[in-house]
Structure 1
Amino acid sequence: MSVARTLWQDNADLAAEALAHPFVRGLADGTLPEPVFAGYVAQDAFYLESFGRGYALGVAHSPDRRGFDAFADLLAGLRGELRLHEAYAKQLHIDLSTVDPSPATLAYTDFLLATAALGDLGHLCAAMTPCMRLYAHLGQSLRTVDHADRYGEWIRTYADPGFEELAANLENLLDTYARPGGDARTSDVYRRAMRLEVAFFESAYRALD
């Protein structure tokens, strides 16, 4: 079994926790308050800029043309996700240039960029893959059940086959650059990223408490 598939299965508990989280359930049934969603959009847009820088560091550290091209393509693909956030920001009157990142957002971006800066592509991919695979999983899972259309665009974006392709491409890079069979550090980085994903949803959901 591939490293990426093994790590995803090893973290099925956190994937299930994310899917069952009140924030995600509120997206599905349309009950998530708009101010909570607006806060999430702002924080996620800030996070995605760091995610893009992670891809750029992947380009910089790639030892071969395959990695160079793949990370460059993933960086280009990120633009579609950013456009979704820009559309939501316009609709919700959010100024993305003035976002004050929350502690949960900073914990995630600092972890991601620190891992990327070290130059180990296997560990970089382990830090970045959970975001892509988890969001594809959430979108595909919510699409298959009855859901309200209030946040339907969010669900459709992450359920789209194009997003699945991007997630699979990043998993292929993880399989390419991780040590054969994986190692403890790769596993730790992947699980840390998954925990930070759940914490990100929790922070967004509790922002108005």
Structure 2
Amino acid sequence: MTLSARLWSDNSDVAAEVLAHPFVCGIGDGSLPKELFAGYVAQDAFFLESFARAYAFALTRSPDTTTLLTLADLLAGVRQELGLHESYARDWGIDMAGVAPWPAALAYTEFLLACASTQDLSVTYAAMTPCMRLYAWLGASLDPSTAGPYAQWVQTYADPEFESIARLLEQLLDDRAEDTPAVRTAYRRAMRLELAFFQAAFAPEA
């Protein structure tokens, strides 16, 4: 079993909590109040900008050309994901400017940027991989035919192209990291922060 597969398996309990969370269930059956989703979209766009910066930090520290080009491809993938958020913002009248980040969003972005700027690249990959793998898994687990206004969201993360991008990051983790306590801690921390981010949609100040 690869390192990325082992870490995902060892954190399946958190993934199950996310899938069972009322916010995610509400996306899956289309019942989530639109105002909650609108708040999430604005916050997630804020998060993705920091995610892109974490990729950029890692890119500047790339030890070889192959890694540099892979990270450049991953950075381009964030731009595509932000396009989904811009689409919702345009269609639903969501104000994306001047977003005041939730504490949960700040905790997650500060964790990612701290890892990317101060930790070994292996820890950075471990901190960033859960976001990509979790969303690809959620896309595959939910049914767009029942998601109503959120069908586009489900389809985006169920798309084989998104799965390919997630695998690119997992491949970096597999190729460049060892199964160390620091790597495991970063991966687990990111998974818990993902869960907290969804929870924040119901209690933003928590």
TM-score band by shorter chain is over 0.9
Across the aligned residues of Structure 1 and Structure 2, the Cα RMSD in angstroms comes to 1.5
**Number of equivalent positions:** 206
Tell me which stretches of 4 or more aligned residues in structure 1 moved more than 6 Å. none
Is 2:201 the partner of 1:165? no
1:98, CA displacement in angstroms? Answer: 1.0
1:95, CA displacement in angstroms? Answer: 2.3
Partner of 1:63: helix, strand, or coil? Answer: coil
Distance 2:147 2:68 in 1: 40
Provide structure 2 residue ranges, at least 5 long, that are not aligned to the other structure: none
Q: How does 1:1-209 map onto structure 2 within 5 Å?
A: 1-143=1-143, 147-179=146-178, 182-207=179-204
Distance 1:203 1:65 in 2: 39
The one-letter amino acid of 2:146's match is H
1:205, CA displacement in angstroms? Answer: 2.8
Deviations 1:85-126 (A, max 9, x none): 011111222221210000000000000000000151110010
1:127, CA displacement in angstroms? Answer: 0.5
1:206, CA displacement in angstroms? Answer: 3.0
Q: Identity across aligned pairs (percent)?
A: 56
Deviations 1:52-85 (A, max 9, x none): 0011111101101111000000001111100000
Distance 2:16 2:62 in 1: 33
TM-score normalised over the length of structure 2: 0.96
Deviations 1:173-197 (A, max 9, x none): 0011112xx1001000000000000
Deviations 1:28-75 (A, max 9, x none): 111100000000000000000000001111110110111100000000
Partner of 2:100: helix, strand, or coil? Answer: coil
Distance 1:97 1:150 in 2: 23
Partner of 1:205: helix, strand, or coil? Answer: coil
Cα contact 2:145–2:151 (8 A) shared by 1: no
TM-score normalised over the length of structure 1: 0.95
Partner of 1:150: helix, strand, or coil? Answer: helix
Cα contact 2:48–2:82 (8 A) shared by 1: yes
Distance 1:121 1:173 in 2: 9
